[in-house]
Amino acid sequence: MGSVKARTGAKSLVKGPHVHRNLSVPQLIEAAIARGEASLASNGALVALTGARTGRSPRDKFIVRDAATGPVVNWGKVNQPFDPADFQALLDRVIEHMQERDIYVLDLFAGADRGYRLPVQVVAEYAWHALFVKQLLIRPTEAELASHKPEFTVIAAPEFEAVPERDGTKSSTFIITDFTRKLILIGGTRYAGEMKKSVFGALNFLLPDRDVFPMHCSANIGANGESALFFGLSGTGKTTLSAAPRRRLIGDDEHGWSADGVFNFEGGCYAKCVDLTEEKEPQIYHAIRFGTVLENVVIDERQGVPDFTDMRHTENTRAAYPIEFIENAAIPSMGGHPKNVLFLTADAFGVLPPIAKLTLEQAMYHFFSGYTAKLAGTEAGLGREPVPEFSTCFAAPFLPLPPKTYAAMLGRRLRQHNAECWLVNTGWIGGAFGVGKRMSLPHTRAIVDAVLDGRLAKMEFIREPAFGLHIPTECPGVPQELLQPRNAWQDKAAYDAQAALLAEKFTANFARFDAPAEVRAAGPPAAMPRA
């Protein structure tokens, strides 16, 4: 009977006595605790564990390949095709599964700018998942709720596990987007971040046609009304550096850049919690309270206090909270055109400068590259040396279209608004990981402050030879010897060899891109001779 109903589509799922629609935050917390899904910490945050899946599952992510997606999607390891008939069969099974249990339905928006926002409906098997997505997407007003008509539906069924031989998946987990049905189907994983990132992926497909540049970045705005963008992969400092006390936060992760300015896709923040302290990150620390969802954070059994240093479940501990929990948040989450765009990288090779000013062509080159580095020992199979990670446009797992689509949009926006672009290394200096030291957060904050208030642009710049980058000879609040990375190494020959090695990896990675000749020429000069 369930599969017959399912043929009419996902709408049949949100009707009936098992459906709990648009519950309040206290109601969702109460339901999650009563159902044994989560517990309450002493500070009022709801704490949930995600089990075996403590992060995204990229090998289990698919896009339905049909007439709408076939000619335009950048198919490959990231955007894996899924058969439409297999999707329909799997959807039928998921709906039948969901019709046999209580479910939580939320009507929300993605996009703070009403001119471009996407009405979204989320159908969740877990109450804590519903709370998570309620806090992270944009919550409608009462008037907006009355007229809400979803254009995209997300179904999250963590307790439904696929059978690969039957369902056409690679494992029991699946994250599948159907752009014709306008439906995202998630199962076999309790990691709530899959919902958030799947909506982001949908916007990356839909918005370029509306002349909106979708970006995996954080953003804030100064007293002068000028916004700033912070691109970077996980662990490079997007959330930390954009949450600045003298600037208002637009958002910490996903934004659009339209003809009118910058706007947040979300209504909340998804901050990493590992080693979080009030001293280092006071705004994030104080945002963790009643209504916040903590993922995989260990709670002291006697006092119920979160222990952000305990990583027994994963290093990827997270806090999800509404953006208004951040002091000085910009409400609504919008800003003017940015005057500064910062690319953040955590260079574990220890050879990139703490700050460099990029030409337009270099900006596009490093945007295509999306570089950071993984550390030895953090993943199974990694050896002793740092491992470069190149994530196209700082967002490879979430980009359905070819990289040149997004890079071209960046180039146009930078030209139109005469924005400066900077490369900021929040990683190692004076040596590679294990020898050098990580840039201190106060020094990085001083660099970012000098960029955003215009002081750094007035300094003298010199060109370093390894990557052709323009670096300042001085920066307020930063020791001069740190600014030129080669000078910070005791063994200059070791620096030369390490820099040449990383430059070669940049060049090898860039060979796969369809990029203009002037952008290709903006990469590292010919590899210097090894010492």
- Catalytic residue list contains 253: yes
- Catalytic residue list contains 197: yes
CB 425 within 8 A of CB 483: no
- Catalytic residue list contains 333: no
* Residue 314 structure tokens: 């994963």
CA distance 367 to 358: 11
Considering 234, 314, 359, 440, which one is annotated as catalytic? 234
Please give the DSSP secondary-structure letter assigned to residue 528.
P
CB 129 within 8 A of CB 96: no
Side-chain-side CA neighbours of residue 31 (13 Å): 21
Residue 122, C-beta contacts closer than 8 angstroms, at least 6 positions apart: 105, 106, 108, 130, 133, 137, 153, 154, 156, 195
Residues in the chain: 531
Considering 318, 404, 413, 505, which one is annotated as catalytic? 318
- Catalytic residue list contains 24: no
Strand-pair category, 428-429 with 437-438:
antiparallel
Considering 189, 239, 242, 258, which one is annotated as catalytic? 239
Residue 363, C-beta contacts closer than 8 angstroms, at least 6 positions apart: 341, 343, 410, 411, 414, 421
**Among residues 236, 317, 375, 235, which one has the least CA distance to residue 54?**
317
Considering 50, 54, 56, 173, which one is annotated as catalytic? 56
What phi, psi does 185 have (nearest 5°)? -115, 120
CB 264 within 8 A of CB 257: no
Considering 253, 347, 449, 496, which one is annotated as catalytic? 253
For 370: left if phi > 0, alpha if psi spans -120 to 50, otherwise beta; the answer is left
Strand partners, 184: 154, 177
Considering 93, 197, 272, 357, which one is annotated as catalytic? 197
CA distance 413 to 264: 17
Considering 117, 181, 190, 238, which one is annotated as catalytic? 238
* Residue 319 structure tokens: 């806090």
Considering 117, 216, 339, 443, which one is annotated as catalytic? 216
CA distance 103 to 27: 13
Q: State the first-to-last Cα distance of the chain, in angstroms, to the nearest integer.
A: 72
- Catalytic residue list contains 412: no
Burial class (CB in 10 A: 0-12, 13-18, 19+), 501: middle
* Residue 231 structure tokens: 């691109």
- Catalytic residue list contains 234: yes
Hey, which residues are catalytic here?
56, 197, 216, 234, 238-239, 253, 318
